[in-house]
Amino acid sequence: MASKSDARATGARLLDAFRAEGAVEVDPDILQPAEALLDLYGEDIRARAYVTADPLRGEMMLRPDFTVPVVQAHMANGAEPARYCYLGEVFRKQDHRGPARTAEYFQAGYEVFDRAAPEQADAEVFALFARLLAPLNLRATIGDIGLLTAAVAGLDTLSTRKAALMRHIWRPQRFHKLMERYAGLTPVPATRAALLAGQAERDAPWIGLRSAQELQARLDRLREDAAARPIATQDVARLDALFALRCPADQAVEALRALDIPALTPAIARLQARLSALAARGIDLGAVGFDASHGRTTMEYYDGFVFTFSAAAPDLPPVASGGRYDALTRVLGQGKSIPAVGGVIRPGLVADLGGLDA
């Protein structure tokens, strides 16, 4: 494995390349307030990030990634449009031993905040990474979470169901269980049937912070849900087909159209614009993989374009990954938002695989 100084030297060259594109270097603190990260990622982040205590600032985390502090800094005082780059270590707890399962490693990153032409910005980041990583012969895969959210938004069903599905796009197992529930494909649990029939036992004393009004509000929602038509099984099948779609990127538009999901039309047009922008920057789309579920389990704040560059060895983590995170800027922007896309390269892995061109 590459030494720390090799990784840092490779990272410095990546940083130079990012600066040459006009990016301004930023250098966020290693200690980040835990609260913002916990709010964003939920309890899972505790399993992955090192938590420590500061006597004045409370719970802190050793930065598990740069995206959140970079977005926070931009939303607080950034000018538009903006390009940022950074190089530094991130810290991730590893629960399993294995190759490249290091708990601290370098990331070199490049982030673009630009309202003008999102698909052009997507292509800019991807093509820059593809050019820098070209000597390593990596396999590139792209996806688009925006296709999945568009398909869910287009379902002919209650808005509460769509919101529940949307919330679990990044948790496939729960998503599919909910889908089956809403489509009437799984039996209603006996306890829920009894509850809806007014036969549930209600004699327990009330304890806890949740109020009886909150229970009543949920009962109303459950009744509304029980009275609504199930989602059509053909719509479920179409969504399943979308989630399972994998093909070379130059065939993705045709394959998506063939799914016959009308709600996808605007998202497909955006994908097409992005693919054209990539081709215009010299990317061979036949050699790039398209995977509609890409980023669904590992990259929870991405909500549009997603990409990874991976080496052939199956147990190595991706050498580079990134995507679009417009919604994250809204969450962290206290009322403001801006379209944003970016990615990181792991210079330690780049050095392991033979390094950048001389």
Partner 1 sequence: MTLKLGVPSKGRLMEQCFDWFAARGVRLRRTGSDREYAGAVDGAPGVELVLLSAGEIPRELAAGRIHLGVTGSDLVRDKLADWQAQVADLAPMGFGHADLIIAVPACWADVDTLEDLDAVAHAFRRAHGHRLRIATKYHRLVREFLTREGVADYQLVDSQGATEGTVKNLTAEAIADITSSGETLRANHLKILSDGLIHQSQATLFAARAADWSGDGQAILRAFCDRLGLGAPEL
Cβ-based burial of 333 (10 A; exposed 0-12, middle 13-18, buried ≥19): middle
The side-by-side arrangement of strands in the sheet containing 58-62 is 31-33, 58-62, 51-54
- Closest CB to partner 1 among residues 19, 46: 46
Near partner 1 by CB under 8 A: residue from 147, 195, 277, 320 = 195
Q: Are 348 and 105 within 8 A, CB to CB?
A: yes
Near partner 1 by CB under 8 A: residue from 55, 187, 205, 335 = 205
- Closest CB to partner 1 among residues 295, 342: 295
Piece in contact with partner 1 (CB under 8 A), picked from 215-223, 242-250, 311-319, 343-351: 215-223
219 binds partner 1 (CB under 8 A): yes
Piece in contact with partner 1 (CB under 8 A), picked from 52-60, 144-152, 187-195, 255-263: 187-195
227 binds partner 1 (CB under 8 A): no
Q: How far is the CB of 236 from partner 1 (least distance, A)?
A: 17
201 binds partner 1 (CB under 8 A): yes
197 binds partner 1 (CB under 8 A): no
Q: How far is the CB of 164 from partner 1 (least distance, A)?
A: 7
Length reported for the chain: 358
Measure the CA angle with vertex 166, ends 225 and 69; round to 5°: 145
187 binds partner 1 (CB under 8 A): no
- Closest CB to partner 1 among residues 20, 217: 217
Near partner 1 by CB under 8 A: residue from 13, 19, 168, 281 = 168
Residue from 275, 347, 302, 352 nearest 16 by CA: 347
- Closest CB to partner 1 among residues 165, 283: 165
315 binds partner 1 (CB under 8 A): no
Provide the pairing of β-strand 58-62 with 31-33: antiparallel
- Give the 3-state DSSP-derived string for the chain, with helices as H, strands as E and coil as C: CCCHHHHHHHHHHHHHHHHHCCCEECCCCCEEEHHHHHHHHCCHHHHHCCEEEECCCEEEEECCCCHHHHHHHHHHHCCCCEEEEEEEEEECCCCCCCCCCCCEEEEEEEEEECCCCHHHHHHHHHHHHHHHHHHHCCEEEEEEHHHHHHHHHCCCCCHHHHHHHHHCCCCHHHHHHHHHHHCCCCCCCHHHHHHHCCCCCCCCCCCCCCCHHHHHHHHHHHHHHHHCCCCCHHHHHHHHHHHHCEEEHHHHHHHHHHCCCHHHHHHHHHHHHHHHHHHHCCCCHHHCEEECCCCCCCCCCCCCEEEEEECCCCCCCCCEEEEECHHHHHHHCCCCCCCEEEEEECHHHHHHCCCCCC
53 binds partner 1 (CB under 8 A): no
Near partner 1 by CB under 8 A: residue from 4, 167, 229, 257 = 167
Q: How far is the CB of 301 from partner 1 (least distance, A)?
A: 14
- Closest CB to partner 1 among residues 19, 174: 174
214 binds partner 1 (CB under 8 A): yes
Piece in contact with partner 1 (CB under 8 A), picked from 8-16, 24-32, 202-210, 279-287: 202-210
- Residue 256-295 contact track with partner 1, rule CB under 8 A, x = bound: ----------------------------------------
- Using CB under 8 A as the binding rule, the residues of this chain from 89 to 118 that contact partner 1 are 95-97
Number of residues engaging partner 1 in binding (CB under 8 A)? 41
Near partner 1 by CB under 8 A: residue from 79, 197, 204, 227 = 204
Binding residues for partner 1 (CB under 8 A)? 38-39, 42-44, 46-47, 95-97, 164, 167-168, 171-175, 177-178, 181, 189, 191-192, 195, 200-202, 204-210, 214-215, 217-219, 222
